[in-house]
Amino acid sequence: MIELFNISKTYAKSDRKAVDSLSLKIPDGKIFGFLGPNGAGKTTTIRVFCGALEPDSGTVLIDGIPMAERPLEAKRHLGLVHDNPELFNRLKANEYLNFVADVFGISAEERRLRIQEYSGRFGLADVLSASIGGFSRGMKQKLGVIASLIHDPSNWVLDEPMVGLDPQSAFELKEIMRQRTKAGRCVFFSTHVMEVAEKVCDELAIIDKGKIIFTGTIDALRRRREGVEGRKGAEEESLERLFLELVDSSRGETT
Amino acid sequence: MKSRFASLVILNIQSAFSLSLPSWQEFKKPKTLLKTIGIGVGAILLLADVGMVFVLNSQAMYKALKPVGLEQMLFLFTATMATVFIFVLSFTMALSLFSSSGIDSGFLVLPFKPHEMLAAKMGLVYFANALLGIFLMLITTIVYGIHEHPPFQFYLYGLLSALAIPIIPIGISYLILIPLMRVSSIFRNKNFIFYLAGFIGVGLALAFNFYIQSTMSQMQDPGFFANFSDPESLISRIGQAWIPSWLTWKALSDADRLWGALAVLGNLALGVAVAALIALAMGKPYVRCIQIFGETSLTRAKKGAARRAEKESRTARRPLASLLLRELRLMNREPSYFINGPFIVVLMPVLLVVIFAAQRSSLEEVMAMLGPLMEGPAGYLVPAAFGAFLGSSTSIACTAISRDAKALPWIRALPIRPLEYFGAKLLHAEIFTLWGMLIGCGAGWLLFKTSAFDLVLAAILSLLVSTAFNMGGLWLDTAFPRLKWDNPIAAMKQNLNAVIVILGVMGIIVALGAISFFTSLPRNVYALVYGAIFFGFILVWIKVYPPYAQKRLAKME
Ligand SMILES: Nc1ncnc2c1ncn2[C@@H]1O[C@H](COP(=O)(O)OP(=O)(O)OP(=O)(O)O)[C@@H](O)[C@H]1O
Ligand SMILES: [Mg+2]
């Protein structure tokens, strides 16, 4: 479970808040989607609660452990897939995975089993001894996914995980998400594609300009629109449109 | 067409040097302002420091040449020296910038002609080296100007000649490098070629050093000039060897005549023509190289490799060991890091042996002369200084955070203790400290038959000094890391922290050497005093740095 209370973050070289008094509770056992247009603050939020960025104010609890006071312990409960898979082109895939496993203190046997399982599922098994520099974008992305699962974290966080994945890998990824939530784990992922969210999420939050403008289930999102507009038959309207209108109307309110 | 080429050059320069001045808005913040002023003052001091060496050099040459009426030879020497200097620098720079970023392959899809791409790359290398050329030429013209009061055109021609001097050396660098890189596609091993070319670069630097040393020693010999009863013959001899130097000499010594103007124009025209020819001839192979470098080989596992991979994944390491291993791999597998970092220090023993073999007789003469000196504190100070210099000139610690800029969010999201993270970086640098110490002591033992006691003193001192500099460098890079760059070389060679540390090491070693030379304390007191100073710094660092670094890591963005 991940809880955020009143998080604000302004980058040093910027004059506006990338994340603005954001509070969010991400429960266990559900696939939680995080939606928003480009530059909305998704990556910033994720980096803040994964301990990669220090918030200006606010509290982060990971399984009840405060990130600010006990960062190492909190981070052990997290597995993060970064938005940019371009890292360490000079390392070999195995070296990269082993580094991550070493950092989490995973035993040799345990890491071997996990690497075997996930590299098999993603079709990377026979390139693990190759240099990451020779990987395609999607292969790097999948390697990042394997690395984030090597310690079997209770909270799995993915920033734009579907970008660059082929249908089969995307399917595998969604399967793993479902398996984990069924086992009572927390899964959180960001995207700016409504369709993905619609197909995968149990719950979602929509962020724009650093502020949450909606949280709830997809059905609740539909109902909310009906309520606001007093219109029937919104079911037929695409969620994409709903999303765009929601973002638009929130912009109308704030500016 | 022109503007397209110019914009490519400018883009190249911006991405390689990551030039970004703070905006006016930011200048209003006192912190940015102070930092900018600080860097500015530091840069001026640095320039003045390096400039002093050349000022003294020019002054000495002028004094030596004036009595024999050959003072204008100064221009010939400066031009030739600048040419060689620039050649060595531009060669290594062209090598490390050859294609280490994805940017180059990005240009491939844009409508540039091959020779435009090569010329733009040459323009990038030219930019840095022209600054150096102007700097060297300026010093000589001013030194000469103060004594001889030449006309105004003299300075103008000096500047224009300085702009002409780097062109051909840069062209030649690419003329050597491109075929070499093309050959690498046969080997299918780019890194090997990088290291080979780096070795050639070091060889050139060494040759350059010998050249300077031999001309300097010849110049102190009055007979050297007597051999040339006709000054013109000497000048024309050097001039025949390198026409741009001769043209520079002509331009500056005939500044008030038409000849001078013609020589300057000729020099520029010659440079541009040669560079254009090289760009035209080598454009296609250059682009082919970039294409090859864009390819990375992906080898699917064969039986043996798979088993090795399996074995690798069965070893669990402690986080610190794993961090250190990662440091070593990332550094040594990136040619532009390796060549500008550990390479020279690792190669030092080889170079030493080469020098020793080549110059045995003259070295032994020097050794004999130094004999009495080495009886004193120099007996342990010299090997210690050598070891300390080698041990702290790898730029590992003082670029440690900058090199990791892109990985920082990743590192921070992992449960890594900040102290282990920084500790691994320091340990990485300390490996070379140990290596430097071994070479320093080894050289002392080999050349001066340093006693065992002195070797122990030298070892301790060299370890203390290098460690202190590694710690200081790490501190500097933690406080002012260079976090935004496209090309890895920006994090390493064009990192101000690396320049500060290298010159700082040289400065302190020279200063301590001078102090030791001009004072006469009991022999081993120097070891005690210097050791205590650096040990003191290390203690302060241990007390102050860890909490600071821990806080700082969280704030880097
Ligand atoms: N390193 C940085 N320095 C300064 N400002 C930043 C930095 N990273 C992001 N920002 C700014 O913070 C805001 C939020 O960016 P963020 O990356 O969180 O958006 P995002 O929702 O992840 O967008 P995308 O869908 O494009 O990934 C943007 O306005 C962006 O310009
Ligand atoms: Mg993002």
Contacts of B99 in chain A (CB under 8 A): none
Res B229: pLDDT: 47
What gap in Å lies between CA B196 and CA B444, rounded to an integer?
29
Judged by average pLDDT, the poorest of B280-284, B343-347, B517-521 is B343-347
B552 pLDDT higher than 50 = yes
Average pLDDT, chain B: 80
Average the pLDDT over B479-491 and give the result: 82
Between B109 and A211, name the one with better pLDDT: A211
Res B59: pLDDT: 83
Q: Are A145 and A161 in contact (CB under 8 A)?
A: yes
pTM value surpassing 0.90: no
In 3D, which of B300, B70, B504 has the Cα closest to residue A125? Answer: B300
Contacts of B408 in chain A (CB under 8 A): 52
CA closest to B335 among chain A residues = A90
Q: Does ligand 1 come within 6 angstroms of the Cβ of A192? A: yes
Nearest CB to B409: which of A47, A91, A98? A47
Task: Give Cα separations from B219 to B60, B224, B242, B332 (angstroms).
Answer: 10, 6, 20, 42
Per-residue pLDDT tens over the stretch B325-360: 999 988 888 777 887 778 767 776 776 676 666 666
**Other CB atoms closer than 10 Å to residue A38's CB: what's the count?**
6
Ligand nearest to the CA of A158: 2
Nearest CB to A129: which of B305, B326, B415? B305
In 3D, which of B440, B432, B195 has the Cα closest to residue B327? Answer: B432
Judged by average pLDDT, the poorest of A30-34, A234-238, B271-275, B384-388 is A234-238
Confidence of residue B16 (pLDDT cuts 50, 70, 90): low
Confidence of residue B25 (pLDDT cuts 50, 70, 90): low
B303 pLDDT higher than 60 = no
Confidence of residue B294 (pLDDT cuts 50, 70, 90): low
Average pLDDT, chain A: 87
A232 pLDDT higher than 70 = no
Single-letter residue type at B164? A
Contacts of B305 in chain A (CB under 8 A): 129
Confidence of residue B1 (pLDDT cuts 50, 70, 90): very low
Average the pLDDT over A156-172 and give the result: 92
CA of B303 to the centre of ligand 1 (A): 45
CA distance B118 to chain A (A): 25
Confidence of residue A88 (pLDDT cuts 50, 70, 90): confident
Between B523 and A78, name the one with better pLDDT: A78
Adjacent-strand bridge partners of A191: A35
SS3 content of chain A, % helix, strand, coil (to 5): 45, 25, 30
DSSP state letter for B519: -
B239 pLDDT higher than 70 = no
Ligand nearest to the CA of A12: 1
In 3D, which of B456, B430, B429 has the Cα closest to residue B444? Answer: B456
Per-residue pLDDT tens over the stretch B151-202: 888 889 999 999 999 999 999 889 988 888 777 666 655 666 667 777 777 6
Res B422: pLDDT: 95
Confidence of residue B85 (pLDDT cuts 50, 70, 90): confident
Between B149 and A241, name the one with better pLDDT: B149
CA of A210 to the centre of ligand 1 (A): 10
Per-residue pLDDT tens over the stretch B37-64: 776 776 677 677 667 777 887 888 788 7
Res B191: pLDDT: 65
Say what percent of chain B tops pLDDT 90: 24
Single-letter residue type at A94? N
Per-residue pLDDT tens over the stretch B438-448: 999 998 888 88
Res A234: pLDDT: 47
Residue B508 C-alpha from the chain's centroid = 18
Between A76 and B491, name the one with better pLDDT: A76
Enumerate the domain spans of chain B. 4-9+27-292, 319-555
Res B190: pLDDT: 61
> What are the helix (H) ranges across A50-153?
71-76, 93-104, 108-121, 137-149
Contact yes or no for B305 and A53 at CB 8 A: no
Per-residue pLDDT tens over the stretch B113-132: 888 888 888 988 898 888 88
Q: Are A63 and A78 in contact (CB under 8 A)?
A: no
